[in-house]
Amino acid sequence: MPGLEIGATIPSVPGTQLDAHLGDLSRVSRAIAEGTLRITFVGDSILEGKSHITYQDSPAGVWMRLLQEQNPTLNLVFSNFSILGQGLYQLRHPGFVGGHFNVPGVSFAQRESCQAERRWPGGTVIGKSWWDHVKDSNPDLLIFGFGMNHVVMGDWAYSPTTVTNAVFYREMNERLALWPNPPSVAAIPSMLPTHRTDIDGGIWPRFRMMVQQEADTVRGICRELNWTCIDVNRWWSIAADARDPVLMHHDHHLQLMDYAENWTMVSGGWTVTGRNSIRGSGILRSMEMCSDLYQRFHFAAPNIADCNPGMFWRDRGDLVQGQPNRYSMNLVRASDGAVQLLVIWQNQTLATVNLGAAKRHYVLEVLVEGARHRAYVDNVLVADLSHMGNMGEGYNGVFLSRGRCRLFNSAVSQGRPAVVGEVEYSDDDLLGIDDWLKNAKSLGGGLRNHPSRLGVQVAFLPAFVPLARAINHLATFGSGAVTRTLHDNTSDFWTGLSNCSLVIDEQVQHPAFPLVFGTALLLTTSASTTVRLAAAREVPVYLSWNASRKELAMSLTLGAGTWVITATAQLNRAGDEGPSSGYHGQTLTVTAVRG
């Protein structure tokens, strides 16, 4: 059910909808239909569930309990391969392997927990990579829970980290597609650390901003790769800051009528020439930052391409390798005299669009929503990009590199995280007071960046509800078809061929006989029957020769209930002569649909 949206309402803020993106759940759907759903967690210490909290009160523990209580007849198999202090780089690196000791970035040593927790089932295998431990759990649903360990302390506009982590997620998605049974995938935009400035040299507010940008990146990746988004970051932001990082409040500026109240002239000179127009050259920049943006400018000049007109957004106000740290799009003249549109991030060209011969007028528009950037020229979409360079807020504006140009018919809509009610929880509520080792009645939490029991309840639990609802719906009302196919291209398949029957759940369906054309054989047969299962079990399907020999045998593991099972067999032998001589191809396809 790709793209399904399920809403959950915040109890304390009536009417506020948190629409969670549910990605491709086809593997989950098939697994539930077969009666067993395997869920694997992989992440850092927060998902590991051993830091400043009991496992039962940790995010993974609470989610496990929720699914078990809601789906008592579904066989749920959990595995948790999370490791404290590690991130995406270590997960993807083949050199990060199981060892006798924990050596950061080199090896890990994890013991198997009790069956109730299902952490590291089987324990660490020496020499086996972290990724392969996860792979061999054969998950139907794989949940990534990373965030804070990705962040590199440095300049607040740490955009190279978000770009790198986006690349890592895309790479892992490609690797998952190569698994024998690729899982459905979910990822967690991270909770936020403390606001406090009186500990650790006051680093946490700046670190918090970086973690937010990383969370925005994960949210964008989920949309791009059609993964399910367990949006802990959104719930946490509302609880801790009364701020919604997804629901944007927009301020509109039309026709530059508020120039220069809300705009600043960075360079050049600009003159208001009428109610709807302004003339000049240089750079005009908004005075306030925004996250999302719609911006439109109509440019006019005798030689438009010679002016290099353009616009920019999410400008951090600094330089990267001598280039402005921002996104931009502008018109340039190519070597053949034609006009091109360039979309650029920092010093990297993200898109080049050929626009043909130069004109006197161009309308440029950009629509920015999260990680998605759409560029329009003369009302035509010319570039649609997913990019995680500068996530979060930045300045927007317009520029002309040289010459003079008139701007008119402009519109700017700046989107900023919406204010949602009032702040209801303090850092002490959500992150605890770091008394876990000293107070037997501690409510958990690590003061800095590990959630308390309350933090789990108000952010992690509701963020998981949309996915839990989808799983419960599939388990209660059934799913689509379960299909299996077997192929056989061996010549000895035909030895002793006679009295062929199609068998479903050990019940012989109508016999089918091969049609003989000289030395060639062709058989096509199909049968359908209804099977009622009191409990989940395997249902065998095969072809029977002479009531004793089985060919193309398979088993479907189906859950309790009524199933309509259809089997189709096609057998071919091309014969001993002709261009297709010697060809053999046998196929059995079985589909089970809940009745």
Q: Are 276 and 289 found together in one domain?
A: yes
Convert 129-139 to b/e letters by CB count within 10 Å (16 or more is b): bbbebbbebeb
Convert 416-450 to b/e letters by CB count within 10 Å (16 or more is b): bbbebeeeebebbbbbbbbebeeeeebbbbbbbbb
- Domain with residue 289: its CATH number is 2.60.120.560
Q: Measured on CA atoms in the order 268, 293, 156, 199, is the torsion positive or negative? A: positive
Q: Are 394 and 268 found together in one domain?
A: yes
Computed over every residue of the chain, the mean pLDDT equals 85
The three-class DSSP label of residue 535 is coil
Q: Are 406 and 267 found together in one domain?
A: yes
In order of 82, 83, 92, 149, the CA distances from 48 in angstroms are 5, 6, 18, 13
Q: Are 292 and 238 found together in one domain?
A: no
Segment 500-515, tens digit of pLDDT: 788 899 888 766 555 4
Q: Are 511 and 452 found together in one domain?
A: no
Q: Are 488 and 471 found together in one domain?
A: no
Range of the structural domain that residue 565 is part of: 482-594
- Domain with residue 181: its CATH number is 3.40.50.1110
Q: Are 72 and 28 found together in one domain?
A: yes
Segment 360-405, tens digit of pLDDT: 899 999 999 999 999 999 999 999 999 998 999 999 999 887 667 8
587 falls within a domain: yes
- Could you say which of 477, 503, 520 is where a domain stops? 477
441 falls within a domain: yes
212 falls within a domain: yes
- Could you say which of 372, 393, 419 is where a domain stops? 419
> Is the bond preceding 574 in cis, omega lying within 30 degrees of 0?
no
pTM, 2 dp: 0.78
Q: Are 61 and 134 found together in one domain?
A: yes
Residue 3 has a pLDDT of 30
118 falls within a domain: no
Q: Are 340 and 402 found together in one domain?
A: yes
379 falls within a domain: yes
Residue 353 has a pLDDT of 96
Q: Are 181 and 34 found together in one domain?
A: yes
Look at the chain and report how many structural domains it folds into: 3
Q: Are 287 and 431 found together in one domain?
A: no
Residue 157 has a pLDDT of 43
Q: Are 274 and 362 found together in one domain?
A: yes
- Could you say which of 369, 389, 419 is where a domain stops? 419
**Cα gap 102→12, rounded to integer Å:** 43
Which residues face 343 on adjacent strands?
Answer: 329, 351
Q: β-strand 520-533 against 515-517: which pairing, if any?
A: antiparallel
Instruction: Please indicate whether residue 119 or residue 511 has the higher confidence score (pLDDT).
Output: 119
Residue 16 binned pLDDT confidence (cut-offs 50, 70, 90): very low
